[in-house]
Chain A
């Protein structure tokens, strides 16, 4: 497979002699680095299973959650990860803070820095906002979702969950069904999955796919399909993406019924998957829209495991960004 090189001019990514500075997307992760994170997360998951699930390694470090969009699940996941590694946690949500009074992102970042944060975990509605923050913060930024751009920790936990259940990544076929165009999860998943040698098919109405030329041109493993039923027998991982009702109002889709008929993940559709195949969803789910309750609760579903694994992955990332230099 002819993968594009990783941006060789990016000063923030890991090299042989330099620790990774920020985690903003998976597009600057080499396969080995992804696998290193997944391996570390296996050890982290062991800690989470202990009766005293805490290790001292990040004692004295401070992680700040800055969430411009509310996301209880991701915020709590990072918070638990930080506490398990003995870091202190600051939480700032945009609501009721200086942000509502018009403070700029850069000023907020500087304030958080002055309060002593070493790592900022940031969720923002605007694509690219973490890149702006990264330019003005001396520590590390972890992108916990920016606009429709990227959500690297989610993609890593998806890879972790797939490997955990299917024992490998290479050559597996993932079908991502749903609103790819507006999905930060899909974007990061595509990078990570292709980088790890998986085949990815995006399956959604054409209005929800967008221009994939850049990826398709350099990623022979990427396909687009409008026929979910035809894909099912060749699918190892079926991943649903949240479909927001606003898409209908924006005229991108006809009735919900039509979407569910052709692209919804239903119990009947699961019957056509190979025996070993698993069903994933980054959450929060719109049950009855992109995924039916019976499918979400089926034995194939690993959706709850994804949540647990998220903590382990985030521990691995927090550890990876800490300390001065690469050992």
Chain B
């Protein structure tokens, strides 16, 4: 297996700062914005974006956590997960602008499940999507509103995002080849 780094920790930091800016610009401020991180790496990313927004706009944006396990469409293929994480959305999302946050956008199925989950939790005014990496190969008509970096990949490759909060060490994004 060989791996190639495509983002350094500095690049990750800059990407997050840029996304934070764009969220404010796109929505004319962040008053109605709720960030919802998708378990697992979406959650620390959402928190970092919230911190970046705080330093730019001096406003606190609520951050929630979403587990999409029970909205997946691949139960028959992958079987049940041993662990289901706790979904925790701050307040009512009805009428809000929800920004879903995830690390990698790939087939779009996770986002599809997350959209279903959000619909069950309320009726947001708008739902937007922020991802650190968009690697292509979409299987559903889904696109991200805020992208840290577009990375062309082969479907045989794997993209790994390493975040200090979860993986320890420096942040990094790697492409792994022949992983499987």
Same complex: yes
Which A residues are within 8 Å of any B CB, using their own CB?
19, 36, 39-40, 42-44, 46-47, 50-52, 54-58, 85, 316, 319-327
A-B contact pairs, 23 of them (CB 8 A): A36-B82, A36-B83, A42-B86, A43-B67, A43-B86, A46-B88, A47-B87, A51-B122, A55-B120, A56-B116, A57-B69, A57-B71, A57-B72, A85-B70, A316-B84, A319-B80, A319-B84, A320-B80, A321-B80, A323-B79, A323-B80, A326-B79, A327-B82
* Inter-subunit contact B70/A39 (CB<8 Å): no
Q: How far is the CA of A10 from the CA of B122 in the complex (A)?
A: 45
- Cβ-closest 7 pairs across A and B: A323-B79, A55-B70, A323-B75, A57-B70, A325-B79, A43-B84, A52-B120
Which B residues are within 8 Å of any A CB, using their own CB?
67, 69-72, 75-88, 116-117, 120-122
> Which chain A residues lie closer than 8 Å to B75 at the CB level?
57-58, 322-323
* Inter-subunit contact A56/B71 (CB<8 Å): yes
> Which of A19, A56, A321 contacts B70, CB < 8 Å?
A56
A39 to chain B: closest residue by CB: B83
A86 to chain B: closest residue by CB: B70
B67 to chain A: closest residue by CB: A43
Q: How far is the CB of B83 from chain A (nearest CB, A)?
A: 7
> Which chain B residues lie closer than 8 Å to A51 at the CB level?
122
Q: How far is the CB of A48 from chain B (nearest CB, A)?
A: 12
* Inter-subunit contact B120/A54 (CB<8 Å): yes
* Inter-subunit contact B80/A326 (CB<8 Å): yes
Q: How far is the CB of B70 from chain A (nearest CB, A)?
A: 4
* Inter-subunit contact B70/A324 (CB<8 Å): no
Q: A55-B71, A323-B77 are in contact. List 17 more A-B contacts (CB 8 A).
A: A19-B80, A36-B83, A39-B83, A39-B84, A43-B67, A47-B70, A51-B122, A52-B120, A55-B117, A57-B71, A58-B75, A321-B80, A323-B76, A324-B77, A325-B78, A327-B78, A327-B79
> Which chain A residues lie closer than 8 Å to B122 at the CB level?
51
B119 to chain A: closest residue by CB: A52
* Inter-subunit contact B120/A50 (CB<8 Å): yes
Q: How far is the CA of A46 from the CA of B85 in the complex (A)?
A: 11
Q: How far is the CA of A36 from the CA of B81 in the complex (A)?
A: 10
Q: How far is the CA of A109 from the CA of B121 in the complex (A)?
A: 38
> Which chain A residues lie closer than 8 Å to B71 at the CB level?
55-57
* Inter-subunit contact B86/A46 (CB<8 Å): yes
A19 to chain B: closest residue by CB: B79
Q: How far is the CB of A315 from chain B (nearest CB, A)?
A: 9
* Inter-subunit contact A324/B79 (CB<8 Å): yes
> Which chain B residues lie closer than 8 Å to A44 at the CB level?
84
